[in-house]
């Protein structure tokens, strides 16, 4: 099987690499943190040796910078799993197409744990032919992959999905805190909520972590704050009303300032426990 390139071997990148390797692919990965590298000494080495390259980078600005600094061979397919600014990613796709390079903004719904379990969702924009050509890669770590249209479509859908997902986490945190204030055991409340119409999958993924204050990282709180800011910027540009996301941003900014940014996004529960800051 061919060698798949990977640039960015953090939480998401390492999870994708593990799934690709388990499926029999060789992975050549580069990261700015030396300890995370998977055989590559530079991003250019990845570009030179691989015709399919997955990007898992912090922002679309970083993705643009990285792709601008390396030479890509004609016929290369870039699978960009970065959650970024949709219009920037769309413009990147158009630019790369002129050089004979396929680009997919193939955003991923699901934490690193979900990816490691092969249960993520991929939402992709770009050429349909490019999407079909890398579908076997998606099947290694995703239960479903959606082709949504031209460049930028995957990035736009990721913001839509993250709006609902993030607010679901915030609602669960507020509900558990409210239960505590009312003299109801939060553990009992979570069990009842899971059994009825108020259920959401967030309760399975984050409920117990919130109850136990287990903030071991599956997806960082600060990373979601970045996503919420992207959501609000997109909403402002399109005159969409997002008052709940405005409140969500304030909660996340307060937590980040208190030192919870590098912890799991289940730490949203601390917005209801008056965080005094972390040493």
Tens digits of residue pLDDT in 137-185? 999 999 999 999 999 999 999 999 999 999 999 999 999 999 999 999 9
| pLDDT value at residue 51 | 97
Q: Do 231 and 254 belong together in one domain?
A: yes
Q: Do 246 and 130 belong together in one domain?
A: no
Given a contact cutoff of 8 angstroms between Cβ atoms, the answer to whether 161 and 123 are in contact is: yes
Q: Which domain holds residue 10?
A: 3-150
| pLDDT value at residue 278 | 53
Query: What share of the chain in percent tops pLDDT 70?
Result: 98
Q: Do 267 and 180 belong together in one domain?
A: yes
| pLDDT value at residue 191 | 98
In a domain, 229, yes or no: yes
| pLDDT value at residue 140 | 97
In a domain, 279, yes or no: no
Tens digits of residue pLDDT in 110-126? 999 999 999 999 999 99
In a domain, 7, yes or no: yes
Q: Do 121 and 30 belong together in one domain?
A: yes
Query: Residue 275: pLDDT band by 50, 70, 90 thresholds?
Result: low
Mean pLDDT calculated for residue range 237-252: 97
In a domain, 223, yes or no: yes
In a domain, 278, yes or no: no
Q: Do 189 and 131 belong together in one domain?
A: no
| pLDDT value at residue 1 | 77
Number of compact structural domains in the chain: 2
Q: Which of residues 121, 150, 179 is at a domain's end?
A: 150
CATH classification of the domain holding 48: 3.40.50.720
Above 90 in pLDDT, residue 274? Answer: no
- What pTM was estimated for this model as a whole? 0.91
Mean pLDDT calculated for residue range 3-18: 97
Q: Do 111 and 139 belong together in one domain?
A: yes
């Amino acid at each position: 099987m061919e060698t798949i390139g990977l640039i960015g071997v953090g939480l998401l990148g390492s999870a994708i690499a593990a799934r690709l390797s388990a499926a029999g692919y060789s992975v050549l990965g580069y990261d700015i943190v030396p300890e995370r590298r998977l055989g590559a000494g530079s991003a250019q080495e990845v570009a030179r040796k691989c015709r399919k390259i997955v990007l898992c980078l912090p922002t679309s600005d970083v993705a643009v910078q990285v792709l601008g600094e390396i030479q890509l061979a004609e016929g290369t397919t870039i699978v960009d799993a970065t959650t970024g600014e949709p219009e920037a990613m769309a413009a990147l796709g158009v630019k790369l197409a002129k050089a004979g390079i396929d680009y997919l903004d193939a955003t991923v719904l699901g934490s690193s744990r979900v990816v490691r379990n092969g249960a993520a969702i991929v939402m992709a924009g770009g050429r349909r032919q490019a999407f079909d050509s890398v579908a076997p890669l998606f099947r290694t770590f995703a239960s479903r992959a959606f082709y949504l249209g031209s460049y930028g479509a995957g990035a736009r859908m990721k913001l839509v999905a993250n709006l609902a997902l993030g607010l679901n986490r915030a609602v669960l945190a507020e509900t558990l805190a409210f239960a505590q204030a009312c003299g109801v055991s939060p553990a009992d409340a979570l069990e009842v909520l899971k059994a009825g119409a108020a259920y959401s999958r967030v309760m399975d993924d984050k409920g117990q972590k919130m109850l136990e204050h287990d903030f071991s990282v599956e997806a960082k709180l600060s990373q979601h704050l970045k996503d919420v800011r992207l959501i609000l910027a997109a909403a402002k540009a399109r005159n969409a009303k997002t008052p709940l996301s405005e409140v969500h941003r304030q909660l996340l900014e307060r937590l980040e300032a208190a030192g919870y940014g590098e912890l799991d996004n289940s730490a949203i529960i601390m917005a209801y426990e008056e965080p005094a800051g972390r040493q």
